[in-house]
Amino acid sequence: MRSLIAAFRFLTRVPVPGAPTRPEELAGAVGYFPLVGALIGLAVGGAHVLFLNLWPPAIAAVLAIGVGLLLTGAFHEDAVADSADALGGGYTTERVLEIMKDSRVGTFGSVALWVLLTLRWGALVSLGYYAPLALAGAMAVGRWTASPMLLLLPPLSTGLSRDVSDSEDLAPLALATLLMVGIVCYAAFAGVPGVLSGSIAAMLGLALWGLYIRLRLGGQTGDLLGAGNQIAESLVLLAVVAALRRAWRPWRGAVVVAAAGLVTVVVPPAWPAPDLIVLDVGQGDAVVVRVGRGQAVLVDGGGTPFGDFDVGARIVVPALRALGVGALPLVVATHADADHVEGLVAVVRAFPVGALVVGHPAPERAVWRELEEAAAERGVAMIQVRRGDRLAVGDLSLDVLHPEERPRGEPNEDSVALLVRWRAVPWALLLGDVPAEVEARLPVPPTPVLLAPHHGSAGSTSEALLRAAQPTWAFVSVGENRYGHPAPTVLRRLAAHGVAVRTTRAEGALRVPFPPPAAVP
């Protein structure tokens, strides 16, 4: 326990009661550095999540960084500045060590701090609600780096670097490694993508850093240890952000797979199977397809063409958070009608988004330009798709059935139409607002779930579509409207084909798992 208290006192500025820590206790304290780092990461990430509910991501990230600096007293940031100034301004080992002892911050240190803090700010903005576990994993890896460097590199100064290096006890390194691996694996299995591969990248980066300072100086100091900490931490965060943006699936080795099997037995997953949820956004469309581990695909985001109620900020974003969604590898805007895309603006600004998928752009429409601007602000790539394309997120695939290469000139007729498959098995048809004449041209296989095109209007959900799709379920996303949606003719047609009909107006949000039930429950 005294070693844990010593680690907490050394790495934070939180007052801990009790007898002062003796220098010889620091050798054992190193074994608990990853645990203390993880607690700091949880605190900073938790603060970021709290601030996200009050302010935009950019402001929340700045405040969260401030919390971290207060907790740690800018301990490792000071080490980065000192190391950069010394290595940048010194040409001999003696001069490097002399500069490192100078408390003033020079040009090299200022630039290094700017790069480090800007990188951390950008990572927090991108991480969103992944921040607590992502930071816990990254800071655990960062604090772990002290153990191998202290044992492998000779000390060049007094303090921790000499006190611990003089000890030949391998138990702290073993404990630190065990804690670090456990924390990283937990973060990975809890749904943080890229944290495993990021940890491997951090170890490689640490090896290069250690080789560099060994060749350049012949050993290590406390400041160089702190700089190595920040290099490793930054590499983990970069890997996690890259994984979130590109929907990469993190690499898992045989040992990790075995551990995952054990965790799966002990802790049930947040949801055992993928599901599709039609959100209740009134007269509009917004469909969430959850694929597990906090990731989902969003098709459209609703909107209010004749009002100022922000469906995205007030309904879609809170619903995604309530559903446990932390990242959206794909967001699809089927077409430029406001009741489909207006709400996506708030979503793109609130969540890490891998790519914005569109058909034929409509820059002549203000709501479309606003969506494009939001995507550009967040660095979200916009992908145009055509019939025959396929998008994939793990076991989920989206077959693009429409639009064709040449636009038809009318937004509804140019809607992106998707066949949703899970492990290659047809699951749902999401066809935007395509009319009957377009439906007749779609290569539709038998599919159990149909989201009625154009909110069940009389000009859609044709006989040809129903014969081809043979759905068991038809969901209608509809609110109070003056258009008569869903049209009585469509309801009669669905009933004639034995299709069970559910509407958001009658039931609110609608959920269907994979595989969908065969009959009305």
**Confidence band for 257, pLDDT divided at 50, 70 and 90:** very low
Q: Calculate the CA 434 to chain-centre distance.
A: 32
Residue 402 pLDDT exceeds 70: yes
What's the pLDDT tens digit per position in 51-69?
Answer: 998 998 899 999 999 999 9
Full 3-state SS string of 271-299? CCCCEEEECCCCCCCCEEEEEECCEEEEE
| C-beta of residue 429 within 8 angstroms of C-beta of residue 461 | no
For position 77, what pLDDT does the model report?
Answer: 93
How large is the average pLDDT for residues 277-298? Answer: 91
Which H or E run includes 327? strand 327-333
Which H or E run includes 165? helix 160-165
**Confidence band for 446, pLDDT divided at 50, 70 and 90:** very high
Residue 247 pLDDT exceeds 50: no
Which of these ranges, 112-126, 261-275, 313-327, 352-366, has the smallest mean pLDDT?
261-275
How large is the average pLDDT for residues 331-339? Answer: 94
Strand partners, 501: 474
467: which 2 tokens?
Answer: 């014969």
Residue 346 pLDDT exceeds 90: yes
What's the pLDDT tens digit per position in 108-148?
Answer: 999 999 999 999 999 999 998 889 999 999 999 999 999 89
How large is the average pLDDT for residues 157-164? Answer: 56
Residue 226 pLDDT exceeds 90: yes
For position 391, what pLDDT does the model report?
Answer: 95
Residue 252 pLDDT exceeds 80: no
477 or 157: whose pLDDT is higher? 477
For position 259, what pLDDT does the model report?
Answer: 45
Task: Collapse the DSSP code of 514 into the 3-class scheme (helix H, G, I; strand E, B; otherwise coil) and give the result.
Answer: coil
Sign of the Cα torsion 77, 196, 134, 262 reads negative
Determine the Cα–Cα distance for residues 474 and 491; give it in Å rounded to an integer: 10
State the alpha helices, DSSP H only, in 18-170.
26-29, 33-52, 57-72, 75-89, 93-101, 107-127, 131-144, 146-152, 160-165
For position 170, what pLDDT does the model report?
Answer: 77
Determine the Cα–Cα distance for residues 43 and 391; give it in Å rounded to an integer: 37
61 or 263: whose pLDDT is higher? 61
Determine the Cα–Cα distance for residues 140 and 127; give it in Å rounded to an integer: 17
What's the pLDDT tens digit per position in 494-518?
Answer: 999 999 999 999 999 999 998 888 7
Residue 254 has a CB neighbour count (10 Å cut-off) of: 7
For position 457, what pLDDT does the model report?
Answer: 94
How large is the average pLDDT for residues 72-79? Answer: 92
Residue 509 phi, psi (nearest 5): -60, 145
Residue 450 pLDDT exceeds 70: yes
For position 169, what pLDDT does the model report?
Answer: 65
For position 495, what pLDDT does the model report?
Answer: 94
Architecture of the 275-513 domain: 4-Layer Sandwich (3.60)
| C-beta of residue 136 within 8 angstroms of C-beta of residue 42 | yes
Determine the Cα–Cα distance for residues 456 and 489; give it in Å rounded to an integer: 9
Which H or E run includes 511? strand 510-513
Determine the Cα–Cα distance for residues 504 and 319; give it in Å rounded to an integer: 15
Half-sphere exposure of 252 (CA within 13 A, CB side): 17
Half-sphere exposure of 322 (CA within 13 A, CB side): 9
Determine the Cα–Cα distance for residues 141 and 138; give it in Å rounded to an integer: 5
| C-beta of residue 29 within 8 angstroms of C-beta of residue 10 | yes
459 DSSP assignment: T
Determine the Cα–Cα distance for residues 9 and 32; give it in Å rounded to an integer: 11
For position 360, what pLDDT does the model report?
Answer: 94
Confidence (pTM): 0.53
How large is the average pLDDT for residues 90-108? Answer: 82
For position 80, what pLDDT does the model report?
Answer: 94
**Share above pLDDT 90 across residues of the chain, in percent, rounded to a whole number:** 64
Determine the Cα–Cα distance for residues 366 and 370; give it in Å rounded to an integer: 6
How large is the average pLDDT for residues 37-56? Answer: 94
Domain ranges of the chain: 2-264, 275-513
Residue 198 pLDDT exceeds 60: yes
Determine the Cα–Cα distance for residues 25 and 4; give it in Å rounded to an integer: 10
114: which 2 tokens?
Answer: 């700017």
